[in-house]
Amino acid sequence: MKTAVYPGSFDPVTLGHLDIIERSARIVDELVVGVLNNSSKNPLFSVEERVNMLKEVTSHLPNVRVESFGGLLVDFAARCHADVVVRGLRAITDFEYELQISQTNRIMRPGLDTIFLTTDLEYAYLSSSIVREVAQYGGDISAFVPEAIAERVLGKFVGENSFGGPEHEQD
């Protein structure tokens, strides 16, 4: 049985993440999506919220489960009995960092391999931070995140700007 972990912040999960999850779930027997509980990052969504959103949007995938983790990825992978890490590569700018991390992980746990899936061109520009930025100003994020997630992201910014609220619609 081949188990892989797909780690990330997923703050929030985007259609780009979901594409990587669906594609890697076809390659391995079991995929564990690992939601990083990183207190220093000051995320928009709590780790519980991020886990729940991921569970919701992956509920159609029987071999995918979602867990939170803190600390080292190599330790989380060991706890999951996974010897593969999945990461998505969007552009050359992702590459240097990803290479460094995967090599570091292999030093710490020699049996651990990282596989990189190239992003679908449709989502190559997409990141969670872009989604947060557009949502902050009341923009339409329906092309970026699963339908069930869009409302929750926009809900985080209600009352925070003068662009998307009912007051603006009356102008």
**What residues are annotated to the active site?**
17, 41, 90, 128
C-alpha to C-alpha distances, 92 to 36, 50, 119, 143, nearest whole angstrom = 23, 27, 12, 23
For residue 56, the minimal CB distance to ligand ADP (Å) is 17
Residues 106 to 165 in contact with ligand ADP, rule: CB under 6 A = 119, 123, 126-128
For residue 171, the minimal CB distance to ligand ADP (Å) is 34
Element (H, E) at 84: strand 84-89
DSSP letter at 47?
A: H
Give the residues across from 64 on adjacent strands: 31
For residue 169, the minimal CB distance to ligand ADP (Å) is 31
Among 4, 5, 9, 28, binds ligand ADP (CB under 6 A): 9
Q: Which stretch binds ligand ADP (CB under 6 A): 10-18, 43-51, 62-70, 152-160?
A: 10-18
Contact 91, 57 (CB under 8 A): no
Q: Is 116 exposed, middle or buried (0-12, 13-18, 19+ CB in 10 A)?
A: middle
Among 55, 90, 106, 109, binds ligand ADP (CB under 6 A): 90
Element (H, E) at 131: helix 128-136
Contact 128, 138 (CB under 8 A): no
Among 4, 5, 10, 12, binds ligand ADP (CB under 6 A): 10
Which residue number has the CB closest to ligand ADP?
16
Residues in the chain: 171
If binding is defined by CB under 6 A, does position 12 make contact with ligand ADP? no
For residue 4, the minimal CB distance to ligand ADP (Å) is 12
Contacts with ligand ADP by CB under 6 A lie at 8-10, 14, 16-17, 20, 87-88, 90, 94, 119, 123, 126-128
